[in-house]
């Protein structure tokens, strides 16, 4: 039967319709695979834009960026590249052999919703707070990095209760964090837990969004080098911890600029495992409220072979504080409390400090060293130390009783309004050596320069003659 005009029209209409379906399907598939490439990069670089990341500070880019990280790791590793833009994210999990490359003008920006985060190996800190949420995390990953001139911003002001760290890397080996800016975490900035072979180089940290805003926390980790970093934080700038019996060892910190509302460099307060072979040098500390150098063992840690060299402090409250105590807290499920630890072979050389005159103590003191009854601080060498203090303590101030506070949180201002010496107060110590230790007063002070109680052996050269006293019986813990 011959075809009519209607037949021909229908035939061509069907062909056009099928062609349109094929065309739009091809366009859709192209767009899908352009945004979700599942093939190996020829140059080892995986641009997050190609995986669908908008970078517009509105759309949540977590899933797209995670696809880029997973693909990069699956094909042997390389760089996940962030072009300029603001990438709103919840938790991103780094995988082995992947480096995040934050290019100029790029920013990973934390979601304000805690539901967009998950935990990485959670734990309890020394104040009893549960932690583990993070913006960027890794668990049991090797050869990972975060580099570039971009930023990671936690936008942490609005968080209460559960508060994510900016970065938490746990059980990782081979870590490089270089050049990036880390800012405004809801809690700690960079947390390294049970990791090995770590380089943190030329990182800028500004962390004042919330409380517990530490800069860098190194926990039960080893072979760590922190160098040329600029850290300004609400809580401790650089904090070495052992929330497990695993040691924190072979740590090097140098050429850093540090300012904090708490401590510049601190050991603790979580201190279960050994801390040894640690060298901190060539650092500048300024405008720091709760300690320039704080070495604390209160949960059973044995701290030894620690050196500080060439440290300059300006406007720092309590330049040197060494505390051996018996709090004996635990931080992970299944842990048992340990017995009191030890502090031994501490060398602090070439320190110039100008102590704050508006600190937590009514009248400042330069150095505070204290153990507890039957547990003495071991060998401590202080050499070439010069500390300027405001003075001002009235007559009778040297007679103040300093409580033991055996089980308390280890901070110097919890021992009283002031200490009975302006330069150094030491008690429950075994062997103190002072070479060229000098204290300068801006105003008269009725307290002695150095007061020692229950110190077994002290040797001094070109330092004030210490006043030695027997320790009166403690009348409170």
Q: Which residues of the chain have pLDDT under 50?
A: 1, 9-10, 20-35, 476
**Residue position matching structure tokens 């499920």:** 333
Buried residues in 4-31 as b, exposed as e (16+ CB within 10 A): eeeeeeeeeeeeeeeeeeeeeeeeeeee
Q: What DSSP letter does each residue of 20-48 carry, written as one string?
A: HHHHHHHHHHHHHHHHS--S--SSSEEEG
pLDDT value at residue 54: 97
Strands 130-139 and 119-124: antiparallel
Contact 229, 200 (CB under 8 A): yes
**Residue position matching structure tokens 């949540």:** 60
Contact 427, 367 (CB under 8 A): no
Residue 289 neighbours by CB under 8 Å, 6+ apart: 260, 261, 262, 317, 356, 359, 360
Contact 135, 165 (CB under 8 A): yes
Alpha helix (H) ranges present in 281-336?
Answer: none
pLDDT value at residue 214: 97
Distance CA 225, CA 277 (A): 12
Which of 161, 175, 169, 214 has its CA nearest to residue 193? Answer: 169
Distance CA 275, CA 268 (A): 10
Torsion of CA 323, 327, 331, 332, to 10 degrees: 130
Instruction: Enter the DSSP assignment of 215.
Output: S
Structure tokens at 351: 């320190």
pLDDT value at residue 21: 43
Distance CA 315, CA 355 (A): 5
Helix (H, G, I), strand (E, B) or coil at 415: helix
pLDDT value at residue 477: 53
Structure tokens at 267: 């050991």
Contact 411, 374 (CB under 8 A): no
Distance CA 81, CA 78 (A): 9
Distance CA 39, CA 37 (A): 6
CA angle (89 as vertex; 83, 93 as ends), nearest 5 = 90
């Amino acid at each position: 039967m011959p075809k009519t005009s209607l037949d021909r029209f229908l035939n061509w209409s069907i062909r056009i319709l099928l062609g349109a379906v094929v065309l739009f399907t091809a366009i859709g598939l192209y767009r899908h695979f352009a945004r979700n490439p599942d093939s190996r990069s020829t140059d080892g670089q995986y641009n997050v834009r190609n995986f669908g990341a908008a970078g517009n500070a509105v759309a949540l880019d977590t899933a797209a960026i995670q696809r880029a990280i997973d693909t990069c790791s699956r094909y042997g590793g390389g760089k996940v590249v962030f072009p300029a833009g603001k990438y709103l994210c919840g938790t991103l999990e780094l995988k082995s052999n992947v480096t995040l490359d934050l290019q100029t003008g790029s920013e990973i920006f934390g979601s304000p919703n805690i539901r967009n985060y998950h935990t990485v190996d959670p734990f309890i800190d020394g104040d009893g707070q549960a932690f583990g949420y993070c913006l960027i995390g890794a668990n049991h990953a090797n050869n990972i990095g975060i580099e570039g001139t971009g930023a990671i911003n936690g936008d942490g002001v609005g968080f209460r209760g559960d508060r994510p760290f900016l970065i938490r890397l746990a059980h990782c080996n081979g870590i490089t964090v270089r050049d990036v800016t880390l800012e405004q975490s809801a809690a700690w900035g960079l947390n390294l837990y049970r990791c090995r072979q770590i380089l943190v180089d030329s990182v800028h940290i500004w962390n004042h969004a919330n409380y517990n805003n530490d800069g860098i926390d190194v926990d039960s980790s080893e072979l760590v080098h922190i160098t040329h970093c600029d850290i300004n934080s609400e809580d401790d700038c650089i904090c070495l911890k052992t929330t497990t019996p695993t040691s924190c060892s072979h740590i090097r910190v140098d050429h850093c600029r540090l300012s904090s509302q708490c401590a510049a460099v601190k050991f603790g307060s979580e201190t279960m495992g050994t801390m040894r072979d640690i060298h901190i040098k060539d650092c500048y500390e300024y405008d720091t409220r709760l300690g320039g150098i704080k070495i604390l063992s209160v949960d059973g840690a044995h701290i030894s072979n620690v050196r500080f060299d060439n440290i300059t402090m300006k406007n720092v409250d309590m330049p040197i504080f060494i505390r051996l105590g018996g709090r004996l807290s635990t931080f992970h499920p299944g842990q048992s409390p340990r017995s009191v630890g030890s502090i031994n072979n501490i060398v602090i050389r070439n320190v110039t400090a100008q102590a704050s005159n508006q600190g937590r103590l009514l009248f400042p003191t330069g150095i505070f060293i204290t153990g507890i009854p039957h547990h003495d601080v071991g060998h401590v060498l202080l050499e070439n130390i010069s500390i300027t203090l405001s003075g001002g303590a009235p007559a009778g101030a040297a007679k103040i009783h300093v409580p033991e506070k055996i089980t308390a949180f280890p901070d110097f201002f919890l021992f009283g309004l002031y200490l009975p010496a302006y330069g150094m107060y030491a008690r429950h110590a075994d062997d103190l050596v002072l070479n060229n230790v000098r204290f300068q007063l801006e105003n008269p002070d009725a307290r002695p320069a150095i007061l020692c109680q229950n110190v077994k052996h002290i040797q001094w050269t070109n330092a004030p003659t210490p006043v030695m006293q027997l320790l009166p019986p403690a009348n409170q813990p």
